Structure 1
Amino acid sequence: MIELHHLTKSYGSTLAVDDLSFKVEPGHVTGFLGPNGAGKSTTLRLILGLDAPTSGQALVNGRRYTSLRRPMREVGALLDAGAVHGGRSAYDHLLCLARSNDIGPRRVSEVLDQAGLAGVARKRVGGFSLGMRQRLGIAAALLGDPGVLMFDEPVNGLDPDGVRWIRELMRSLAAQGRAILLSSHLMSEMALTADRIVIVGCGRLVAEATVTELTTRYPSLEDAYLALTSGSVQYGGAR
Protein backbone atom coordinates (compact mmCIF):
# COMPACT_ATOMS: atom_id res chain seq x y z
CA MET A 1 0.00 0.00 0.00
CA ILE A 2 1.02 3.61 -0.63
CA GLU A 3 -0.24 6.21 1.84
CA LEU A 4 0.13 9.98 1.53
CA HIS A 5 -0.58 12.03 4.64
CA HIS A 6 -0.84 15.81 4.18
CA LEU A 7 2.10 15.67 1.76
CA THR A 8 3.44 19.12 0.88
CA LYS A 9 6.43 20.19 -1.21
CA SER A 10 7.59 23.73 -1.93
CA TYR A 11 10.38 24.83 -4.24
CA GLY A 12 11.05 28.37 -3.14
CA SER A 13 7.83 30.27 -3.76
CA THR A 14 6.36 27.44 -5.89
CA LEU A 15 3.98 25.11 -4.05
CA ALA A 16 4.25 21.90 -6.09
CA VAL A 17 2.29 19.56 -3.80
CA ASP A 18 -0.24 21.04 -1.39
CA ASP A 19 -1.49 19.03 1.62
CA LEU A 20 -2.09 15.93 -0.51
CA SER A 21 -3.58 12.81 1.11
CA PHE A 22 -4.74 9.59 -0.58
CA LYS A 23 -4.14 5.82 -0.58
CA VAL A 24 -3.17 3.32 -3.25
CA GLU A 25 -4.57 0.02 -2.04
CA PRO A 26 -3.65 -3.54 -3.01
CA GLY A 27 -5.70 -5.29 -5.68
CA HIS A 28 -6.34 -2.10 -7.66
CA VAL A 29 -4.88 -0.12 -10.53
CA THR A 30 -5.13 3.46 -9.28
CA GLY A 31 -4.94 6.01 -12.08
CA PHE A 32 -3.15 9.25 -11.21
CA LEU A 33 -4.41 12.14 -13.33
CA GLY A 34 -3.87 15.88 -13.50
CA PRO A 35 -2.98 18.69 -15.92
CA ASN A 36 0.61 19.62 -16.69
CA GLY A 37 1.95 21.37 -13.62
CA ALA A 38 -0.44 19.58 -11.25
CA GLY A 39 2.38 18.03 -9.19
CA LYS A 40 2.06 14.39 -10.32
CA SER A 41 5.75 13.80 -11.05
CA THR A 42 6.77 15.61 -7.88
CA THR A 43 4.43 13.37 -5.89
CA LEU A 44 5.97 10.24 -7.43
CA ARG A 45 9.46 11.51 -6.60
CA LEU A 46 8.41 12.19 -3.01
CA ILE A 47 7.05 8.66 -2.63
CA LEU A 48 10.37 7.25 -3.89
CA GLY A 49 12.51 9.46 -1.66
CA LEU A 50 14.04 11.31 -4.63
CA ASP A 51 12.84 14.57 -3.07
CA ALA A 52 12.19 15.34 0.59
CA PRO A 53 8.76 16.70 1.55
CA THR A 54 8.43 20.13 3.08
CA SER A 55 5.87 18.61 5.44
CA GLY A 56 3.69 15.53 5.70
CA GLN A 57 4.82 12.08 4.66
CA ALA A 58 4.61 9.41 1.98
CA LEU A 59 4.69 5.81 3.18
CA VAL A 60 5.12 2.49 1.40
CA ASN A 61 3.82 -0.43 3.45
CA GLY A 62 3.86 1.86 6.48
CA ARG A 63 7.48 3.01 6.06
CA ARG A 64 9.39 5.73 4.23
CA TYR A 65 10.99 4.47 1.04
CA THR A 66 14.42 5.61 2.20
CA SER A 67 14.18 3.30 5.23
CA LEU A 68 13.63 0.17 3.12
CA ARG A 69 16.67 -2.12 3.18
CA ARG A 70 16.00 -3.74 -0.21
CA PRO A 71 13.55 -1.30 -1.79
CA MET A 72 13.21 -3.08 -5.14
CA ARG A 73 11.71 -6.07 -3.33
CA GLU A 74 8.88 -3.85 -2.06
CA VAL A 75 8.48 -1.12 -4.70
CA GLY A 76 9.05 -1.16 -8.45
CA ALA A 77 8.96 2.09 -10.40
CA LEU A 78 9.31 3.43 -13.91
CA LEU A 79 9.67 7.21 -13.97
CA ASP A 80 12.13 7.81 -16.83
CA ALA A 81 12.87 5.10 -19.38
CA GLY A 82 15.86 7.09 -20.62
CA ALA A 83 17.70 6.85 -17.29
CA VAL A 84 19.96 3.98 -18.37
CA HIS A 85 23.62 3.64 -19.37
CA GLY A 86 23.54 3.40 -23.15
CA GLY A 87 26.76 1.39 -23.28
CA ARG A 88 25.41 -1.48 -21.18
CA SER A 89 23.40 -4.39 -22.47
CA ALA A 90 19.84 -4.81 -21.24
CA TYR A 91 20.95 -7.86 -19.26
CA ASP A 92 23.86 -6.07 -17.60
CA HIS A 93 21.71 -3.06 -16.74
CA LEU A 94 19.23 -5.26 -14.91
CA LEU A 95 21.96 -7.39 -13.36
CA CYS A 96 23.52 -4.31 -11.72
CA LEU A 97 20.14 -3.36 -10.28
CA ALA A 98 19.53 -6.93 -9.13
CA ARG A 99 22.85 -7.21 -7.31
CA SER A 100 22.20 -3.97 -5.45
CA ASN A 101 19.08 -5.56 -3.94
CA ASP A 102 20.32 -9.15 -3.49
CA ILE A 103 18.28 -10.46 -6.41
CA GLY A 104 19.65 -13.44 -8.33
CA PRO A 105 20.51 -13.49 -12.06
CA ARG A 106 17.71 -15.95 -12.82
CA ARG A 107 15.19 -13.22 -12.06
CA VAL A 108 16.93 -10.95 -14.60
CA SER A 109 16.28 -13.50 -17.34
CA GLU A 110 12.69 -13.94 -16.18
CA VAL A 111 11.76 -10.27 -16.39
CA LEU A 112 13.54 -9.81 -19.73
CA ASP A 113 11.40 -12.62 -21.10
CA GLN A 114 8.27 -11.17 -19.49
CA ALA A 115 8.96 -7.78 -21.10
CA GLY A 116 9.56 -9.32 -24.53
CA LEU A 117 13.27 -8.45 -24.53
CA ALA A 118 14.85 -11.90 -24.27
CA GLY A 119 15.99 -11.72 -27.90
CA VAL A 120 17.86 -8.44 -27.38
CA ALA A 121 19.11 -9.06 -23.84
CA ARG A 122 22.78 -8.83 -24.86
CA LYS A 123 22.39 -5.77 -27.08
CA ARG A 124 23.42 -2.30 -25.92
CA VAL A 125 20.62 -0.14 -24.61
CA GLY A 126 21.95 2.84 -26.60
CA GLY A 127 20.58 1.22 -29.75
CA PHE A 128 17.11 0.62 -28.32
CA SER A 129 14.02 2.39 -29.57
CA LEU A 130 11.90 4.36 -27.10
CA GLY A 131 9.44 1.48 -26.94
CA MET A 132 12.20 -1.00 -26.14
CA ARG A 133 13.51 1.31 -23.42
CA GLN A 134 10.02 1.48 -21.96
CA ARG A 135 9.90 -2.31 -21.85
CA LEU A 136 13.31 -2.38 -20.17
CA GLY A 137 12.12 0.13 -17.57
CA ILE A 138 9.09 -2.04 -16.87
CA ALA A 139 11.35 -5.10 -16.56
CA ALA A 140 13.42 -3.18 -13.99
CA ALA A 141 10.29 -2.30 -12.02
CA LEU A 142 9.29 -5.97 -11.93
CA LEU A 143 12.77 -7.18 -10.97
CA GLY A 144 12.21 -7.50 -7.22
CA ASP A 145 8.72 -9.02 -7.63
CA PRO A 146 7.36 -6.13 -5.50
CA GLY A 147 3.89 -5.73 -4.07
CA VAL A 148 3.78 -2.03 -4.98
CA LEU A 149 4.40 -0.70 -8.50
CA MET A 150 4.48 2.85 -9.87
CA PHE A 151 4.47 3.79 -13.54
CA ASP A 152 4.73 7.25 -15.13
CA GLU A 153 3.46 7.27 -18.74
CA PRO A 154 4.50 3.63 -19.37
CA VAL A 155 3.02 3.39 -22.88
CA ASN A 156 5.17 6.16 -24.37
CA GLY A 157 6.75 4.90 -27.59
CA LEU A 158 4.92 1.57 -27.58
CA ASP A 159 3.09 0.22 -30.61
CA PRO A 160 -0.53 -1.00 -30.26
CA ASP A 161 0.63 -4.51 -29.33
CA GLY A 162 2.85 -3.03 -26.62
CA VAL A 163 0.05 -0.83 -25.32
CA ARG A 164 -2.24 -3.85 -24.98
CA TRP A 165 0.55 -5.78 -23.25
CA ILE A 166 0.97 -2.97 -20.69
CA ARG A 167 -2.77 -2.81 -20.09
CA GLU A 168 -3.06 -6.55 -19.50
CA LEU A 169 0.09 -6.58 -17.36
CA MET A 170 -1.25 -3.85 -15.07
CA ARG A 171 -4.56 -5.58 -14.59
CA SER A 172 -2.94 -8.97 -13.98
CA LEU A 173 -0.57 -7.50 -11.38
CA ALA A 174 -3.51 -5.90 -9.57
CA ALA A 175 -5.41 -9.19 -9.72
CA GLN A 176 -2.47 -10.78 -7.88
CA GLY A 177 -3.11 -8.37 -5.02
CA ARG A 178 -0.47 -5.77 -5.84
CA ALA A 179 -0.98 -2.02 -5.48
CA ILE A 180 -0.49 -0.23 -8.81
CA LEU A 181 -0.17 3.56 -9.24
CA LEU A 182 -0.40 4.57 -12.90
CA SER A 183 0.17 8.13 -14.08
CA SER A 184 -0.85 8.92 -17.65
CA HIS A 185 -2.51 11.51 -19.87
CA LEU A 186 -4.13 8.89 -22.09
CA MET A 187 -7.75 8.88 -20.97
CA SER A 188 -8.77 6.04 -23.26
CA GLU A 189 -6.13 3.73 -21.81
CA MET A 190 -6.81 4.85 -18.26
CA ALA A 191 -10.50 4.03 -18.71
CA LEU A 192 -9.55 0.51 -19.85
CA THR A 193 -6.82 -0.11 -17.27
CA ALA A 194 -7.62 1.63 -13.98
CA ASP A 195 -10.46 0.86 -11.61
CA ARG A 196 -9.80 3.74 -9.21
CA ILE A 197 -8.85 7.33 -10.07
CA VAL A 198 -7.05 10.07 -8.15
CA ILE A 199 -7.15 13.51 -9.80
CA VAL A 200 -4.94 16.40 -8.68
CA GLY A 201 -4.81 20.03 -9.73
CA CYS A 202 -2.38 22.72 -8.61
CA GLY A 203 -0.88 20.21 -6.20
CA ARG A 204 -4.15 19.51 -4.37
CA LEU A 205 -6.56 16.58 -4.43
CA VAL A 206 -9.45 17.30 -6.80
CA ALA A 207 -11.22 13.94 -6.81
CA GLU A 208 -10.83 10.34 -5.67
CA ALA A 209 -13.36 7.83 -7.00
CA THR A 210 -13.81 4.62 -8.96
CA VAL A 211 -13.96 4.75 -12.74
CA THR A 212 -17.51 3.45 -12.50
CA GLU A 213 -18.53 6.30 -10.19
CA LEU A 214 -17.03 8.91 -12.52
CA THR A 215 -18.51 7.45 -15.69
CA THR A 216 -21.92 7.24 -14.03
CA ARG A 217 -21.81 10.98 -13.32
CA TYR A 218 -20.21 11.98 -16.64
CA PRO A 219 -20.44 10.64 -20.23
CA SER A 220 -16.85 9.37 -20.12
CA LEU A 221 -13.71 9.42 -18.00
CA GLU A 222 -12.34 12.14 -20.27
CA ASP A 223 -15.42 14.28 -19.69
CA ALA A 224 -15.12 13.74 -15.94
CA TYR A 225 -11.44 14.71 -15.99
CA LEU A 226 -12.01 17.85 -18.05
CA ALA A 227 -14.92 18.98 -15.87
CA LEU A 228 -13.10 18.37 -12.60
CA THR A 229 -9.83 20.02 -13.65
CA SER A 230 -11.26 22.98 -15.58
CA GLY A 231 -10.00 25.42 -12.96
CA SER A 232 -6.68 23.68 -12.32
CA VAL A 233 -4.76 24.12 -15.56
CA GLN A 234 -1.50 25.95 -15.06
CA TYR A 235 1.76 26.35 -16.94
CA GLY A 236 5.30 26.91 -15.76
CA GLY A 237 4.74 25.25 -12.38
CA ALA A 238 5.62 21.83 -11.03
CA ARG A 239 5.06 18.65 -13.02
Structure 2
Amino acid sequence: MMPPASLESLDDLTAAIERMRAARPRASGPLIVGLAGAPGAGKSTVAAALSAGLPGSAVLPMDGFHLPQAELVRLGRRDRMGAPDTFDVDAFVALLESLRDLHNSGETLRAPGFDRRVEEPVPGAIALAPEWWCVIVEGNYLLLREHGWHRVAPLLDLSVGIVLDDAIRHERLIARHIAFGKNPDAARAWALGPDERNAAAIAATLERADYLLDTSANESSAGSSTR
Protein backbone atom coordinates (compact mmCIF):
# COMPACT_ATOMS: atom_id res chain seq x y z
CA MET A 1 0.00 0.00 0.00
CA MET A 2 1.31 3.43 -0.94
CA PRO A 3 1.50 5.96 1.92
CA PRO A 4 -0.94 8.87 1.73
CA ALA A 5 0.15 11.90 -0.27
CA SER A 6 0.38 15.14 1.72
CA LEU A 7 -1.77 18.11 0.79
CA GLU A 8 -0.47 21.59 1.43
CA SER A 9 -3.83 23.33 1.63
CA LEU A 10 -7.58 23.10 1.26
CA ASP A 11 -7.15 24.49 -2.26
CA ASP A 12 -5.06 21.43 -3.12
CA LEU A 13 -7.84 19.14 -1.89
CA THR A 14 -10.44 21.09 -3.84
CA ALA A 15 -8.34 20.75 -7.00
CA ALA A 16 -7.97 16.98 -6.46
CA ILE A 17 -11.73 16.59 -6.17
CA GLU A 18 -12.34 18.68 -9.27
CA ARG A 19 -9.92 16.46 -11.21
CA MET A 20 -11.82 13.37 -10.10
CA ARG A 21 -15.09 15.01 -11.12
CA ALA A 22 -13.77 15.75 -14.61
CA ALA A 23 -12.68 12.13 -15.08
CA ARG A 24 -15.99 10.55 -13.97
CA PRO A 25 -18.78 9.51 -16.34
CA ARG A 26 -21.61 12.01 -16.21
CA ALA A 27 -24.12 9.29 -15.36
CA SER A 28 -22.23 8.25 -12.23
CA GLY A 29 -23.67 8.85 -8.79
CA PRO A 30 -22.26 11.60 -6.58
CA LEU A 31 -18.57 11.63 -5.80
CA ILE A 32 -18.23 10.51 -2.19
CA VAL A 33 -15.31 12.14 -0.37
CA GLY A 34 -14.47 10.91 3.14
CA LEU A 35 -12.76 13.08 5.75
CA ALA A 36 -11.46 10.96 8.63
CA GLY A 37 -9.70 12.10 11.78
CA ALA A 38 -9.59 12.21 15.55
CA PRO A 39 -12.06 14.19 17.68
CA GLY A 40 -11.15 17.87 17.44
CA ALA A 41 -8.91 17.49 14.37
CA GLY A 42 -10.97 19.88 12.25
CA LYS A 43 -13.14 17.58 10.15
CA SER A 44 -16.32 19.63 10.33
CA THR A 45 -14.49 22.89 9.61
CA VAL A 46 -12.71 21.39 6.60
CA ALA A 47 -15.95 19.81 5.36
CA ALA A 48 -17.84 23.10 5.57
CA ALA A 49 -15.06 25.07 3.85
CA LEU A 50 -14.69 22.40 1.19
CA SER A 51 -18.41 22.36 0.45
CA ALA A 52 -18.48 26.16 0.26
CA GLY A 53 -15.82 26.01 -2.44
CA LEU A 54 -17.57 23.24 -4.37
CA PRO A 55 -21.05 24.44 -5.41
CA GLY A 56 -23.40 21.50 -5.78
CA SER A 57 -21.89 19.55 -2.90
CA ALA A 58 -23.33 18.53 0.48
CA VAL A 59 -21.89 17.53 3.87
CA LEU A 60 -22.86 14.32 5.64
CA PRO A 61 -21.50 14.05 9.23
CA MET A 62 -21.14 10.57 10.70
CA ASP A 63 -22.30 11.87 14.10
CA GLY A 64 -25.96 11.45 13.21
CA PHE A 65 -25.44 7.70 13.39
CA HIS A 66 -24.67 7.70 17.12
CA LEU A 67 -26.86 5.17 18.88
CA PRO A 68 -29.50 6.90 21.05
CA GLN A 69 -28.48 7.34 24.66
CA ALA A 70 -31.20 4.98 25.89
CA GLU A 71 -29.73 2.24 23.69
CA LEU A 72 -26.21 3.00 24.90
CA VAL A 73 -27.40 2.69 28.49
CA ARG A 74 -29.08 -0.63 27.70
CA LEU A 75 -25.84 -1.89 26.12
CA GLY A 76 -23.69 -0.58 28.97
CA ARG A 77 -21.75 1.76 26.64
CA ARG A 78 -22.96 5.21 27.66
CA ASP A 79 -19.74 6.02 29.55
CA ARG A 80 -17.75 5.69 26.31
CA MET A 81 -20.14 7.30 23.86
CA GLY A 82 -18.21 8.04 20.66
CA ALA A 83 -16.31 4.72 20.63
CA PRO A 84 -16.51 2.63 17.44
CA ASP A 85 -19.21 0.32 18.80
CA THR A 86 -21.53 3.17 19.85
CA PHE A 87 -22.73 3.95 16.31
CA ASP A 88 -25.31 2.34 14.02
CA VAL A 89 -22.78 1.18 11.44
CA ASP A 90 -25.36 -0.82 9.46
CA ALA A 91 -27.53 2.27 8.91
CA PHE A 92 -24.51 4.37 7.97
CA VAL A 93 -23.32 1.83 5.39
CA ALA A 94 -26.85 1.46 4.00
CA LEU A 95 -27.08 5.21 3.43
CA LEU A 96 -23.70 5.35 1.68
CA GLU A 97 -24.80 2.49 -0.57
CA SER A 98 -28.02 4.36 -1.38
CA LEU A 99 -25.98 7.41 -2.41
CA ARG A 100 -24.62 5.38 -5.33
CA ASP A 101 -28.05 5.39 -6.91
CA LEU A 102 -28.98 8.94 -5.88
CA HIS A 103 -28.86 10.38 -9.41
CA ASN A 104 -30.88 7.55 -10.93
CA SER A 105 -33.52 7.46 -8.21
CA GLY A 106 -34.39 11.14 -8.50
CA GLU A 107 -35.43 11.06 -4.85
CA THR A 108 -34.00 13.04 -1.95
CA LEU A 109 -32.40 10.91 0.76
CA ARG A 110 -32.84 11.86 4.40
CA ALA A 111 -29.98 11.36 6.85
CA PRO A 112 -29.88 11.90 10.61
CA GLY A 113 -28.19 14.90 12.16
CA PHE A 114 -26.85 15.20 15.70
CA ASP A 115 -27.79 17.63 18.48
CA ARG A 116 -24.75 18.19 20.69
CA ARG A 117 -26.80 20.01 23.29
CA VAL A 118 -28.59 16.79 24.23
CA GLU A 119 -26.14 14.36 22.57
CA GLU A 120 -28.85 12.64 20.56
CA PRO A 121 -29.29 11.87 16.84
CA VAL A 122 -31.99 13.84 15.01
CA PRO A 123 -33.76 11.62 12.43
CA GLY A 124 -34.12 13.02 8.91
CA ALA A 125 -32.33 16.29 9.67
CA ILE A 126 -30.12 16.27 6.55
CA ALA A 127 -31.46 16.27 2.98
CA LEU A 128 -29.29 14.79 0.23
CA ALA A 129 -30.80 15.87 -3.08
CA PRO A 130 -30.30 14.00 -6.37
CA GLU A 131 -28.71 17.05 -8.00
CA TRP A 132 -25.71 17.01 -5.66
CA TRP A 133 -22.60 15.92 -7.57
CA CYS A 134 -20.44 15.50 -4.44
CA VAL A 135 -21.17 14.35 -0.88
CA ILE A 136 -18.50 15.10 1.72
CA VAL A 137 -18.70 12.54 4.51
CA GLU A 138 -16.86 13.41 7.71
CA GLY A 139 -16.32 11.19 10.72
CA ASN A 140 -13.91 9.42 13.01
CA TYR A 141 -14.03 5.85 11.81
CA LEU A 142 -14.31 5.97 8.03
CA LEU A 143 -11.05 4.01 7.65
CA LEU A 144 -11.41 1.67 10.63
CA ARG A 145 -11.54 -2.07 9.95
CA GLU A 146 -13.07 -3.31 13.20
CA HIS A 147 -16.68 -3.37 14.45
CA GLY A 148 -18.10 -3.51 10.92
CA TRP A 149 -16.49 -0.25 9.78
CA HIS A 150 -14.46 -2.09 7.12
CA ARG A 151 -17.51 -1.73 4.83
CA VAL A 152 -17.19 2.06 4.68
CA ALA A 153 -13.85 2.67 2.93
CA PRO A 154 -14.78 0.76 -0.27
CA LEU A 155 -17.77 3.11 -0.66
CA LEU A 156 -15.57 6.23 -0.68
CA ASP A 157 -14.22 7.58 -3.95
CA LEU A 158 -11.57 9.60 -2.14
CA SER A 159 -10.40 9.50 1.48
CA VAL A 160 -8.54 12.23 3.36
CA GLY A 161 -6.98 11.98 6.81
CA ILE A 162 -7.34 15.23 8.76
CA VAL A 163 -4.54 15.72 11.30
CA LEU A 164 -3.79 18.41 13.88
CA ASP A 165 -1.20 19.06 16.56
CA ASP A 166 -2.37 17.18 19.69
CA ALA A 167 -2.00 20.13 22.07
CA ILE A 168 -4.24 22.29 19.88
CA ARG A 169 -6.70 19.43 19.41
CA HIS A 170 -6.98 18.85 23.17
CA GLU A 171 -7.54 22.56 23.79
CA ARG A 172 -10.33 22.64 21.22
CA LEU A 173 -11.99 19.52 22.60
CA ILE A 174 -11.99 20.81 26.17
CA ALA A 175 -13.45 24.14 25.04
CA ARG A 176 -16.13 22.35 23.01
CA HIS A 177 -17.17 20.12 25.90
CA ILE A 178 -17.44 23.16 28.16
CA ALA A 179 -19.50 24.99 25.54
CA PHE A 180 -21.96 22.09 25.45
CA GLY A 181 -22.46 21.87 29.20
CA LYS A 182 -19.61 20.03 30.92
CA ASN A 183 -17.76 21.69 33.77
CA PRO A 184 -14.04 22.30 33.14
CA ASP A 185 -12.86 19.25 35.11
CA ALA A 186 -15.35 16.92 33.41
CA ALA A 187 -14.51 18.41 30.01
CA ARG A 188 -10.80 17.79 30.49
CA ALA A 189 -11.39 14.27 31.81
CA TRP A 190 -13.52 13.35 28.78
CA ALA A 191 -11.14 14.95 26.25
CA LEU A 192 -8.10 13.19 27.68
CA GLY A 193 -9.96 9.97 28.49
CA PRO A 194 -12.58 8.55 26.08
CA ASP A 195 -11.77 11.06 23.31
CA GLU A 196 -8.06 10.30 23.48
CA ARG A 197 -8.55 6.53 23.45
CA ASN A 198 -10.64 6.94 20.31
CA ALA A 199 -8.02 9.27 18.81
CA ALA A 200 -5.31 6.62 19.22
CA ALA A 201 -7.42 4.07 17.34
CA ILE A 202 -8.17 6.59 14.59
CA ALA A 203 -4.53 7.65 14.14
CA ALA A 204 -3.61 4.08 13.20
CA THR A 205 -6.18 4.11 10.36
CA LEU A 206 -5.03 7.27 8.58
CA GLU A 207 -2.23 5.49 6.74
CA ARG A 208 -5.02 4.00 4.58
CA ALA A 209 -6.16 7.43 3.35
CA ASP A 210 -5.44 8.69 -0.15
CA TYR A 211 -4.29 12.06 1.21
CA LEU A 212 -3.35 13.68 4.51
CA LEU A 213 -4.22 17.29 5.28
CA ASP A 214 -2.66 18.93 8.36
CA THR A 215 -4.89 21.72 9.67
CA SER A 216 -2.38 23.00 12.26
CA ALA A 217 -1.40 25.99 10.12
CA ASN A 218 -4.98 27.24 10.24
CA GLU A 219 -5.51 26.74 13.97
CA SER A 220 -5.68 30.44 14.71
CA SER A 221 -8.77 30.86 12.53
CA ALA A 222 -10.61 27.71 13.67
CA GLY A 223 -13.21 27.84 16.41
CA SER A 224 -13.43 25.72 19.53
CA SER A 225 -16.40 23.85 18.06
CA THR A 226 -14.15 22.19 15.47
CA ARG A 227 -14.64 18.45 15.33
Q: TM-score range by the shorter chain?
A: 0.3 to 0.5
TM-score, scaled relative to structure 2: 0.37
Higher helix proportion = 2
TM-score, scaled relative to structure 1: 0.36
Higher strand proportion = 1
